[in-house]
Structure 1
Amino acid sequence: MPYQPPTHSVERSIRATTGAKIVAGVDEVGRGAWAGPVTVCAAITGLRRAPDGLTDSKLLTPKRRTALAGELEAWVTAYALGHSSPEEIDELGMTAALRLAATRALEGLPVRPDAVILDGKHDYLGDPWKVRTVIKGDQSCVVVAAASVIAKVRRDAMMAELGADHADFGFCDNAGYPSPVHRAALEELGPTAHHRLSWAYLDALPRWQHLKRARLTPDTMALEAGGQLGFDF
């Protein structure tokens, strides 16, 4: 399928139907990882022409994604990042952890958005934010695509820094997601302080099962199943 650049059509519709003047795009990364935070970027772009080649971060090569993120950070009107730690993910479950990270990102913006375009089918943000969910919004909406790229590059950089102290886990390459190197290190060394301890990967590690957190929410268990299959890599 030929490349279809994202547009401002959803943002224009929100502006026209609700009177919103400031519309933010929100996207997350790290949902399916075994280690590291879940990271959310909230971005505001206005209706200016987007940089060439902008699309969902997962469709870009690492080199192009990194270059584009630098361009986007200078181009957007504003952006902010929010994170939920592995401990918060274990304690709250993924849906609440996403809400917390997204709230932190939105509240970190210099202006409060009148409306939010959220990538995906489910509104994990909720009141008091005025949310429009858009499936594959990271491909179709300029403001969400911008948030997608920035979130991915920033979280990957965070995981690469952690990788300097945990080289055996391959965080520089897998960013905390499932991989053969990651699994082998877990079997040999056990989870680090950066791992999510309520997730099902520990069930396959008899030596380390005693570390598993007891609290599991339904949405966490559903997302873990995806994580074991390399979901959202």
Structure 2
Amino acid sequence: MPYEPPTHRVERSLRATTGAKIVAGVDEVGRGAWAGPVTVCAAITGLRRPPEGLTDSKLIPPPRRAELAEELNGWVTAHALGHASPEEIDDLGMTASLRLAAVRALEGLPVRPDAVILDGKHDYLGGPWRVRTVIKGDQSCVAVAAASVIAKVRRDAMMAELPEEYADFAFHDNAGYPSPVHRAALEERGPTPYHRLSWSYMDALTRWKHLKRTRNEPTEQIELF
């Protein structure tokens, strides 16, 4: 399906209305996974013309996505990644874990942004950052689209590199997200050290649901199949 390429419209607006000279795009991947970290990328792109085909990482075929991530590594002005582990997600809940990962990414940049464009409608980052939320920002904003691609490719690679003893979970294919193979392995072997034990999928694992962790924040409701 044809799509409009992302632009610098929001970045230009922030410069004009707030005086921000350095604007970072921020996007996450891994929010809905059963296993693995939630990963956030912060990217600073300036106002240069982006590489051809840049858009939301989910709309890009995997081979091209990997190629584009390589191009972006050399094209962006700066970028940094932040992660929150499954243990942190279980302890803190998803909203706080997203903020933790985002702060780690932003603090990993060589310069502090004057403003942040955050994909989505909810500001999970908050102060002291100056935040502009943009629904589908990973499709409409160059910096957010760049962050989307870099975060997706890096997290997928991290999941594919997990130990061979967990090969039957097919992390190299599903990146820790729900899938029939993933579910079958969970039912047979139970959760690995990389799984989020507070997630609602644990309720369906009769043999293993005694391992489920509880926390104060309501469990993410993710349908099995």
TM-score, normalised to structure 2's length?
A: 0.98
CA contact (8 A) 1:163 1:171 kept: no
In 1, Cα distance between the equivalents of 2:14 and 2:170? 42
Matches within 5 A, 1:147-186: 147-162=147-162, 164-186=164-186
Matches within 5 A, 1:124-163: 124-162=124-162
User: What residue is the counterpart of 1:212 in the other structure?
Assistant: 212
User: What stretches of structure 1 of length at least 5 have no aligned partner?
Assistant: none
User: What residue is the counterpart of 1:228 in the other structure?
Assistant: 223
User: What residue is the counterpart of 2:2 in the other structure?
Assistant: 2
List, as ranges, runs of 4+ consecutive aligned residues in structure 1 with deviation greater than 4 Å: none
In 2, Cα distance between the equivalents of 1:211 and 1:160? 25
User: What residue is the counterpart of 2:19 in the other structure?
Assistant: 19
For residues 187-221 of structure 1, the C-alpha deviation after alignment (integer angstroms, 9 at most, x for no partner) is 00000000000011110011101110021513xx2
In 1, Cα distance between the equivalents of 2:28 and 2:162? 19
In 2, Cα distance between the equivalents of 1:163 and 1:147? 27
Partner letter of residue 170 of structure 1? A
For residues 32-71 of structure 1, the C-alpha deviation after alignment (integer angstroms, 9 at most, x for no partner) is 0000000000000000000000000000000010000000
CA contact (8 A) 1:163 1:170 kept: no
As a proportion of its length, which structure holds more helix? 1
Instruction: Provide the secondary structure at the position in 2 that maps to 1:116.
Output: strand
In 1, Cα distance between the equivalents of 2:172 and 2:91? 26
TM-score, normalised to structure 1's length?
A: 0.94
**Residue 59, structure 1, aligned to residue 59, structure 2:** yes
Greater alpha carbon shift after TM alignment, 209-218 vs 51-60:
209-218
User: What residue is the counterpart of 1:106 in the other structure?
Assistant: 106
For residues 81-116 of structure 1, the C-alpha deviation after alignment (integer angstroms, 9 at most, x for no partner) is 000000000000000000000000000000000000
In 1, Cα distance between the equivalents of 2:162 and 2:217? 27
In 2, Cα distance between the equivalents of 1:39 and 1:7? 24
In 2, Cα distance between the equivalents of 1:53 and 1:214? 42
CA contact (8 A) 1:163 1:169 kept: no
In 1, Cα distance between the equivalents of 2:147 and 2:194? 24
In 1, Cα distance between the equivalents of 2:169 and 2:93? 24
Partner letter of residue 61 of structure 2? T
In 2, Cα distance between the equivalents of 1:162 and 1:57? 22
CA drift at 1:229:
5.2
In 1, Cα distance between the equivalents of 2:216 and 2:138? 29
For residues 140-167 of structure 1, the C-alpha deviation after alignment (integer angstroms, 9 at most, x for no partner) is 0000000000000000000000153310
